[in-house]
A = this chain, B = another copy of it.
Amino acid sequence: MRVATLAIVGVGLIGGSIALAARRRGIAQRIVGVDRNPQAIEQACDNGSLDSGSADLPAAVADGDLVVFCTPVDCIAAQVVETSGHCKPGSLLTDVGSTKARLIDHIEAHVAPEVAFVGSHPLAGSEKQGALHADADLFAGRVVVVTPTPRTRPDALDRTLDFWRALGATARQLSPAQHDEALALTSHLPHLLAATLAGVLPAQWQELTASGFRDTTRLAAGSPALWSGILRMNSGPIVAALDRFDERLRDFRSALARDDIAAIRALLEQGKEMKDRLR
């Protein structure tokens, strides 16, 4: 996998890490960045990952053979559509958004026909934000879900898969809807539960929390601006995941209320069995 010019739109933690990983692994001849925040560009130029950067989106994408959109998920679709007319014919566009179906539906309906778009979602991240925390190994050994549709051109899909593999990731293919259904349960629902649990803690009980509460609510520290966008973009599958969760939660409540030790233990055993498989 070699790219002449790699353009990164949004040089935060993920965009900055893609630039750094591409640099270290020698994937691109030239790497350019776009960000409204001049400090982000400066940091990524300083650590050697960007050759140049600016706030001028149309100009930057015009050079890109591969353009990766790393902006908040509720901005990506409009940005891809708006900038696709400025891109080189034949260029490949992808993104790193945490939700896929709505975004890709919009893009496929409106994107310039001279470019190819293929959705991606790297299952990697950190509570840390910003290009300053960019990590060249952020994707190493992590899964990146690539989400082709019936309209995706096979060569564009292959190049997208190759790109993520070149960054050290394990690439997997799912349809946008399958992706959203799975991630609603594996990522968005945990976030929602963490925020809900943290939100019901009365201030006077803070001192009575230990590592269990802290770990279970870790995700609640995430950015509300970012996560309200993610949750909203995938609300249908999240509500379905929530209902599936709620059904089991009711089983738990009912087992407790009727003091059914066998049922309580069975529910704990089922959770442990799956948890132990994840290690």
- Quick one: which of A246-276 are within 8 Å of B by CB? 246, 248-249, 252-253, 256-257, 259, 261, 264-265, 267-272, 274-276
Q: Could you give, for residues 36-80 of chain A, a 1 whenever the CB lies within 8 Å of some chain B CB and a 0 otherwise?
A: 000000000000000000000000000000000000000000000
Residues of B within 8 A of A219 (CB): 212, 215-216
B277 touches A256 (CB 8 A): no
Q: Could you give, for residues 133-170 of chain A, a 1 whenever the CB lies within 8 Å of some chain B CB and a 0 otherwise?
A: 00000000011010000000000000000000000000
Q: Which of A197, A201, A231, A238 has the most CB of B within 10 A?
A: A197
Q: Is the interface of A mostly helix, strand, loop or mixed?
A: helix
Residues of B within 8 A of A197 (CB): 189-190, 193, 245, 271
Residues of B within 8 A of A217 (CB): 190, 271, 275, 278
Of B232, B246, B261, the residue contacting A264 (CB under 8 A) is B232
Residue A185 CB within 8 A of the other chain: yes
Q: Which of A15-23, A84-92, A107-115, A202-210 contacts B (4 or more CB under 8 A)?
A: A202-210
